[in-house]
Amino acid sequence: MWLYLVVLLGLWNLLRLFRERKVVSHLQDKHVFITGCDSGFGNLLARQLDRRGMRVLAACLTENGAEELRSKTSDRLETVILDVTKTESIVAATQWVKERVGNRGLWGLVNNAGICIPLVPNEWLKKEDFAKVLDVNLLGMIDVTLSMLPLVRKARGRVVNVSSIMGRVSFSGGGPYPISKYGVEAFSDSLRRELSYFGVKVAIIEPGFFITAMANSDRLSSNMKMLWDQASSEVKEIYGENFLASYCMEHALTSCHPRTRYSAGWDAKLFYLPMSYLPTFLVDAMTYWISIKPDKAL
């Protein structure tokens, strides 16, 4: 009996691999709008899709970020300044996108913009600290999505929301960040079910803690920056552009059969994701030892 189960599992994986390798046709004619392209995942994805010949519409928070991105990409890539916490900025960016996509609609919307600090115990914070993070990571993402949805629906395209493994397992010392990512997970699930009737697919990217930190290396502690700078080129490649941007986010946009969720990083796949299915008392015990503790944070 076990042999039959192994054979069935093997066949299922082969079928899944075959389906996921099928690529959407005419990628060079499709527009993708990405938020948070100044640095990190959004910047890497914009450059990767540009190299594949897609029409990238990159939203940056600053003009300096937009200018630097344009200097590293082709003339196909266009940038716009966007603050996801301001509805008027989102409305202006939506009109800008509409003028470029025309009747074809928007193939891909990637909600990548986000902030992860402050990562401190909840008691250290005020309501305003929570509101600041939620405004960017959750409410801003929702505002952008609702504004762009008519364009995505017209193209029967994709919505890709960047969450985190902390949207599954919340650690003490995480502050408002995991709260925002739990919200991203919930919104994405309901959105996926609603939009399936219109042929629109919704995918969630769940980076592990280490890979998320590397993408935001300008915000790291000096010790972690030093470790990252000293890491080998092979380690940087595994935890950098080739792993996340090229596989997870790009696959969600270009595959005929994208996954519902992508766990990015070996820490996410082998540690945090399995942890999320364990009994609560075990998760509490495990997170106690790896979370930020008040005496260590002082």
Which residues carry out catalysis? 177
**Which pair of tokens denotes residue 289?**
């030892």
Identify the CA nearest to 143 among candidates 102, 189, 109: 109
DSSP 8-state symbol, 123: G
Identify residue 241 by its one-letter amino acid code. Answer: E
HEC sequence for 218-258: HHCCHHHHHHHHHCCHHHHHHHCCCCHHHHHHHHHHHECCC
The dihedrals phi and psi of 34, each to the nearest 5 degrees, come to -125, 130
CB 36, CB 14: distance < 8 Å: no
Q: Could you tell me if 206 and 164 are in contact, meaning their C-beta atoms sit under 8 angstroms apart?
A: yes
Contact 82, 60 (CB under 8 A): yes
Q: What amino acid occupies position 65?
A: G
Q: How far apart are the first and last CA of the chain?
A: 56
d(CA 286, CA 172): 11
- d(CA 90, CA 173) in angstroms, rounded, equals 32
